[in-house]
Chains A and B, each alone.
Chain A
Amino acid sequence: MEKLKNNPLIKAIGTQRLVALLALIVIYLAFGIMNPRFATYNTMVNIFDASYYIGFMAIGICFVIATGGIDLSIGTVLTMSGLVAGYLSVNMGFPIWLVIIICILIGTAFGVINGLLVAKMGLPPFIATLGTMMLSKGIGSIITGAQSVTWKSGSDPEGWYRAIFKIKTESGLLIPTGFLFLIAAAIVMAVVMNKTKAGRYILSLGSNKEATRLSGVNVDKYLIIAYIISGTFAGIAGLAYSTIYSTLLPGGGAGFEMDAIAGVVIGGTSMSGGIGTIAGTMIGVFIISVLKTGLPFVGLQTHYQQVATGLVIIVAVFADVYRNRRKS
């Protein structure tokens, strides 16, 4: 065990991420053994489909969690972005490129609001984003007249946007382009987290806000940036969700944020701030999407997915807590 711990590879990945990665592989193989139909290419594409909206939300909220805060609004902001943008496209005839931009900007706008509420008005993040969670849920329904919205289908002249996340060739082959998009976004945001001033100060203020402020850093500004990143990625997640699942229900989306938070936490980001890992977050996101996609294959319903996710969170985080306790 001691030898294993000092292995440089394990050190580099980090215990918690390693546990998460192993869990991902074990879960995937277990489903594959229980139902051979699971280990197919098309199921893999389904897993990817489920990972997009959770993944984009998780990348964004990872920044907020790294500040020591939380953003409860991302799930309903996702739905509102999808609803409003879809409504503008289908009912108002807005061109699809504009709709895509609006979809993302609605998320950004909520990020700005959350950031101002937390940084400038001093509201606790939980309360501020609980408020905007309800606001976004309600406003989305009001704008669309409480009607569900179905985005334009792939056969529509404007259906090209679907290719951002999935291409179906004439021979029926599915190409998960969204996977590349998600990974690209993860890489870019990992660089932002680790190599830019914003990322450095976000992690730093999450670890010790007062010491960061007393170093002459405008902590309010970087706090707001974290929420803007979170909101914007909720908007992108809205686009991903709308593209993959087409139909959005008014009032939906509450609870999506918990999947994203679970992904972030499984990946090794600390809820108390100061640590944020995008790579770990991605592993966490895929664990959740494998569970979501795989359980129906073995004849189990969503309830079991929740039980499984709950156990994974507890085990993964406990591994980290246990290690830190041993260290001190």
Chain B
Amino acid sequence: MGRVMLRMKGIDKSFPGVHALDHVDLEVEAGEVHALMGENGAGKSTLMKILTGIYSKDSGIIEFEGQEVNFTTPAKAQEAGIAIVHQELNMMNHLTVAQNLFIGREMMKSGFISDSMMNKEAKKLFGRLNIEIDPSEIMGNLTVGRQQMCEIAKAISRDARLIVFDEPSAALTETEIEELFKIIRDLRSKGMGIIYISHRMDEIKVITDRVTVMRDGTYVGTLKTKDCTKDDIINMMVGRVIYEEPKQAGSVKENAPVVLKVEHLSAGKMVKDVSFELKKGEILGFSGLMGAGRTETARAIFGADRKDGGEIFINGRKAEIKTTEDAVNQGIGYLSEDRKRFGLVVFKSVAENSTMASLSSFMKGAFIDKKKEHQQAEHYVHLLNTKTPGVEQMVVNLSGGNQQKVVIAKWLIKNCDILIFDEPTRGIDVGAKSEIYQLMNELVKQGKSIIMISSEMAEILRMSDRVIVMCEGRITDEIPIEEVSQERIMASATMRNQEVSNGKTEK
């Protein structure tokens, strides 16, 4: 292989309360496709953001093409020849392909923008990359795959020599992925450096030359792809010491009734033929990588998004859930992963948020019984140990953990039997975290049932009675807690759909 193109050494970065990167190394050679792997939150994105000038590093050295560099803005990284193709594309859908390619550096002819010149130039560029796209086409009319190719072309046209692909295949079809790989191989043969971030194990094997694995903000190691197996990579990704004791055995009684049964649920592109059962008093963990369709499944069950097919049974009876109102009336509560956007009305008080789902029981005739409302809100502030100066306080002024407690109070006041916790401890400090765990355990003891979606392996292992693993909208595994291992979860979470449909369950 070629000379070293990029060397990142001892990169360190802290955010308030989080040590995001702990002396991480990364080396990319010219003419190499280098995979960067790790679980959600391992620090891949932070590292790439430092490389491309979005974040500044606390310490460490970056050398690019033999020179030490320190990009303070994305524009400077771009100038130096480093480009990033994001998972979410940054294209202006109403402009043409060529207009997008040359945005910010339009070609001028006697004082006016010349579309014909830009179209010609774009055509030349596409020719060089063997891409067939009409430069005068409106960007929005292209498929996601084609748009991504435009993004790559844009990077090349800015003379990029190192391109970072951030989960490029997530939204692509099989044939589009093939085309993408063709382009990547072509770029590699021209001596460019490529960093490829993906969760898809089989793609890593096909397209990359080396793999660097990160875990919890640290550098684990770099392997040659052809010399290692999937298992090697998975072991490096998950081989962390789990401090909290994982659950040894499920606490659900053998004969516990099924409270929720989902059959062949489909919704949009992200939920495909999902079936499972939830028992009374059970914590059912939903594991998987980001974008696996877990939140979408929860939202479809809760009536927040439209279902395309499938049936839901509650306590054995078929339930028609078309709206969130239906779901709440059926005794389902949903605690969103994004509290501020979907869980709380942050510019309203603790009291108002607490009674949001159950206002009907706080009415005195036509009027809201504010005294009763306050009493009940205060009761739950004490019960959940929510730290707030009072129930009149606006929720926006509370910390993440206390905001989460307000959301929990909302569903407890409504007295829901089925609670869906979507990333219940995301962005919550350690103290509040264990309080929330304790609370969830108490709730199931009282006979409530919980679906817990979590991307934190430790949380899944510690809380669940049973674990369901999803990948790309499908359930790929269902594991009783006694048989669960990090390796098995990770293997199922990276299982592509052909493997599932072929019935292969290799680990």
Q: Which residues of A contact B (CB under 8 A)?
A: 191, 195-197, 200-201, 203-204, 207-208, 210-218, 274
Contact = CB atoms under 8 A, between A and B. Distances in A.
Nearest to A274: B347
Given A195-B367, A196-B366, A203-B348, A213 B356 contact: no
Interface in B318-340: 323-325, 327-329, 334, 336
Nearest to A206: B345
Contacts of B302: 214
Q: Closest 5 CB pairs between A and B?
A: A216-B328, A215-B356, A208-B345, A215-B357, A195-B367
A203 B359 CA distance: 14
Contact of A208 (B323, B344, B363, B410): B344
19 contacts: A195-B367, A196-B366, A197-B363, A200-B359, A203-B348, A207-B348, A208-B345, A210-B342, A213-B324, A214-B304, A215-B324, A216-B324, A216-B325, A216-B327, A216-B328, A217-B356, A217-B357, A218-B325, A274-B348
Contact of A214 (B342, B346, B360): B342
B345 A197 contact: no
Chain A CB within 10 A, most for which of B328, B334, B359, B360: B359
Given A203-B348, A208-B344, A214 B334 contact: yes
Q: Which of A196, A208, A216, A274 has the most CB of B within 10 A?
A: A216
A200 B345 contact: no
B366 to A, nearest CB: 6
Interface centre among A197, A203, A215 (most CB of B within 10 A): A215
Contacts of A203: 348
A218 B359 contact: no
A211 B324 contact: no
Contact of B324 (A196, A207, A217): A217
Given A204-B352, A215-B328, A197 B359 contact: yes
Contacts of B367: 191, 195-196
B357 A216 contact: yes
Interface of B: 302, 304, 323-325, 327-329, 334, 336, 341-348, 352, 356-357, 359-360, 363, 366-368, 370, 410, 414
A196 B342 CA distance: 23
Contacts of B357: 215-217
B348 A213 contact: no
A211 B345 CA distance: 6
Contacts of A214: 302, 304, 324, 334, 336, 342-343
Nearest to A275: B347
Nearest to B302: A214
A215 B410 contact: yes
A211 B347 contact: no
B163 to A, nearest CB: 36
B423 to A, nearest CB: 15
A199 to B, nearest CB: 9
Residue of B327, B334, B348, B363 with highest tally of chain A CB at under 10 A: B348
Contacts of B370: 195
B346 A208 contact: yes
Nearest to B344: A211
A317 B370 CA distance: 30
Contacts of A274: 345, 347-348
A14 to B, nearest CB: 14
A10 B414 CA distance: 37
A71 B401 CA distance: 39
Contacts of A210: 341-342
A201 B356 CA distance: 8
Contacts of B359: 197, 200-201
A274 B396 CA distance: 14
Contacts of A213: 304, 324
Nearest to B355: A200
B418 to A, nearest CB: 13
A191 B410 CA distance: 24
Nearest to A220: B323
Nearest to B414: A216
A207 B352 CA distance: 12
A40 to B, nearest CB: 41
Contacts of A208: 341, 344-347
Interface centre among A191, A214, A217 (most CB of B within 10 A): A214
Contacts of B348: 203-204, 207, 274
A195 B363 CA distance: 9
A210 B367 CA distance: 24
Given A196-B367, A197-B360, A216-B327, 18 more contacts: A191-B367, A201-B359, A203-B348, A204-B352, A208-B345, A208-B347, A210-B341, A210-B342, A211-B342, A211-B345, A213-B324, A214-B302, A214-B334, A215-B324, A215-B328, A216-B328, A217-B325, A217-B357
Given A200-B359, A200-B368, A212 B345 contact: yes
Given A197-B360, A216-B325, A211 B341 contact: yes
B319 to A, nearest CB: 14
B344 A200 contact: no
Nearest to B369: A195
B499 to A, nearest CB: 34
Contacts of B304: 213-214
A212 B347 CA distance: 12
A200 B358 CA distance: 12
A204 B342 contact: no
Contacts of A217: 324-325, 356-357
Nearest to A194: B368
A210 B337 CA distance: 13
A324 to B, nearest CB: 11
Nearest to A270: B347
Contacts of A195: 367-368, 370
Nearest to B362: A197
